[in-house]
Each structure stands twice: as structure tokens, then as C-alpha cells.
Structure 1
Amino acid sequence: MPFLKPFGSISAWYWVLFLYIEPASTAVGAIYAHFYQHIYLTLTHAASAPASNSIPLSTSIVLTQLANLYLLLAINEALVLRATSDVKVWRVFLLGLLIADFGHLYSVYELGLPIYWRFWAWNAIDWGNIGFVYMVGCARVAFLCGVGLGEKRVGADLKSQ
């Protein structure tokens, strides 16, 4: 299938994850943050969500801004990485996203430390905010370490000398 053809030394797994799966899931986050604000707030923290669909105007504006940033991330990832097979560009871009992953994980810190490991208690937004971020973060680290890139490793270079 041509859409699964990897770019140069970049494996199909990274290509599918970073050009399709992650941008699509980020776009879903944008849709919920803008169009389903009450659900978004309730899933984020039910105890502090508004009792009804009467979301304060400032909160609605901030959620729409968040949706806009999610959409920007989805578009940038899908388009920038599609534009090149240069591993250096991919590494720089994915390093930036990895740093943002840590910020995203930090954003739920106020929910308490168990939010990071009690996966059996996670709802849909927790799986997106934590579980999915863990997965793509690990994939970014693997990419940055050269796993699955078809490149020579430093250790292999030293052994051949």
C-alpha cells in the first residue's frame, strides 16, 4: 500500500503514528475542546466543572484557544513531517513535541499523583491526556534514540574499528 511506504530510513510505524494517528487524535481533542466544552470540562475534573452547560465566557474562550492550539499541532505535525524524509528535521520537530509532552503531563499534576499511574480509573480524556501521551512520548524517545531508523548505531561503529 503506497500510503504505508516509509520515508527513507523512517519506518512505517513512525510514519503512521506521527502523520495519521497522532494528528487525528489531536484534532479530536480540538473538536471536544471547542464544540463539547461541558463534556471536556467534566471529563477533565467533574468536581470543578460547571453544574450545567453554563460555562463562564472566559473558560469558553480559553477552551477555544486550546482547541486552536490542538488544531495547530495536528496540522503542523501532519504537514511538516510529510514534507520531508530528513531525519534531522523529524528529530528536531519530535524533540519539541516531546518537551510539550512533559508540559502536557504536568498540566494534570493538580489532580494528584495517582492520576499518572491509576490507569484503571482513567476516563476517555485521561487516556488521551496521560496514556496516549505516554505512548507517543515513548515513540518519540525511541525515534530520537534511532530505534527503527535503519541507521548505524554508535556502538556498532566502535565494534567495527
Structure 2
Amino acid sequence: MSASTHGVMRSVYKYFFLYIEPLSTILGAYYSSLQQQTYLDLTHATSSPQNGIPVSTQIVLMQLSNLYLCFAINEALVLRASSDLKVWRTLLFCLLVADFGHLYSVHAVGWHIYWNVLRWNAIDWGNVAFVYVGATMRICFLSGLGVATSKHTFTPI
């Protein structure tokens, strides 16, 4: 891979992992904490409560919001704080595992959720398509695609 291609990939990784994904994840935290009815309606309208959200569901959604924030902060700040390739690979591997768990979490909707883009709503684009992109980016990085390193460091900037 040419040096210019490495530079392009480094920029793609930088913008995605340090800006785009953390900001998108904060959007998920916003909806799961402050727009709970909308979040539930978009997740699965048929089973979404219409006469108020049960307290247990409110608690779970706030916990989900907290995890989204943790995800965003870890990704944005830990990766900014280190150029150690081992740190980047470790964190991105953990997030890749989370990607697979996130994708599995929507399987109850039906297998069409993974491929029928014409039926997707806004939250499906976030829960499936965006996770596909994030997982693909992590797989590419972990595979070394475009990761020009000086032995043990990766400089995203």
C-alpha cells in the first residue's frame, strides 16, 4: 500500500473513531435517555408501550444511555490520549465485540432487519447500517489495512 493510501486511511480512521462515531453514539444516548418513547417506537412500534413507559423500561433505557456515553467517551478520549498501537487495537477489538452483540440484540425483530434496507427507519440505520460501518472499520484497522506504524505506535493525526 502506498504512503498516500496509508495517509488517506489514517485520516479515515481518525475522523471516524475520534469524531463521527463518538458523536453518533452520543445521539443514541440522547434518544435513549431524553426521548424514550420515540426510541421505543422506532425500535419496535408494535411492542412499544403506548400508555406510558414502565419504570423498569425507563431504568433500562437510562442504563443503555449510560453505556452509550461510556462507549463514546472511551473511544474519543482513550484513542486521543494514546498513539500506542496496542491500546488502539485492544479498544477497537472490544468495540468490535460490542458491535456483534449490538447486531445480535435486534434479531428478535426478524432476520430481515439485517438486510432489508427498504424497511429500515432511522433507528434501524443506526442499529444496523452504522454498526456495519463501525465493525467494518474496526476489522480493517485490526487487519492492518492502511495502518502505517513505526513498530508500536499509530499516529492518527
Q: Hey, what does 2:15 align to over in structure 1? A: 16
Q: Hey, what does 2:61 align to over in structure 1? A: 63
Say whether residues 1:41 and 2:44 are aligned partners: no
Match of 1:139 among 133, 137, 140: 137
Name which one, 1 or 2, has greater alpha-carbon Rg.
1
Q: CA deviation at 1:28?
A: 0.3
Normalised by the length of structure 1, the TM-score is 0.86
Normalised by the length of structure 2, the TM-score is 0.88
Quick one: distance in 2 between partners of 1:136 and 1:65? 22
Secondary structure of 2:83's counterpart equals coil
- Partner deviation per Cα, 1:42-77 (whole Å, 9 max, x = no partner): 00000000114x101110011011001101110111
Structure 1's consecutive aligned runs of 4 or more residues displaced over 4 angstroms after TM superposition are none
Quick one: distance in 1 between partners of 2:147 and 2:74? 22
Q: Write the mapping of 1:1-161 to structure 2, written as runs, cut at 5 A.
A: 11-52=10-51, 54-151=52-149
Structure with greater contact order relative to length (CA < 8 Å, sep ≥ 6): 2
Alignment-mate amino acid for residue 76 of structure 1: N
Alignment-mate amino acid for residue 101 of structure 1: D
Alignment-mate amino acid for residue 145 of structure 2: V
Structure 2 residue runs without a partner (length 5+): 1-6, 151-157
Secondary structure of 1:11's counterpart equals helix
Quick one: distance in 1 between partners of 2:17 and 2:70? 14
Quick one: distance in 2 between partners of 1:150 and 1:65? 38
- Partner deviation per Cα, 1:59-97 (whole Å, 9 max, x = no partner): 001101100110111011100000011111101100000
Percent identity of paired positions between Structure 1 and Structure 2: 58
Alignment-mate amino acid for residue 35 of structure 2: Y
Alignment-mate amino acid for residue 86 of structure 1: D
RMSD: 1.5
- Partner deviation per Cα, 1:136-157 (whole Å, 9 max, x = no partner): 10010000010011259xxxxx
The number of residue pairs the alignment matches comes to 143
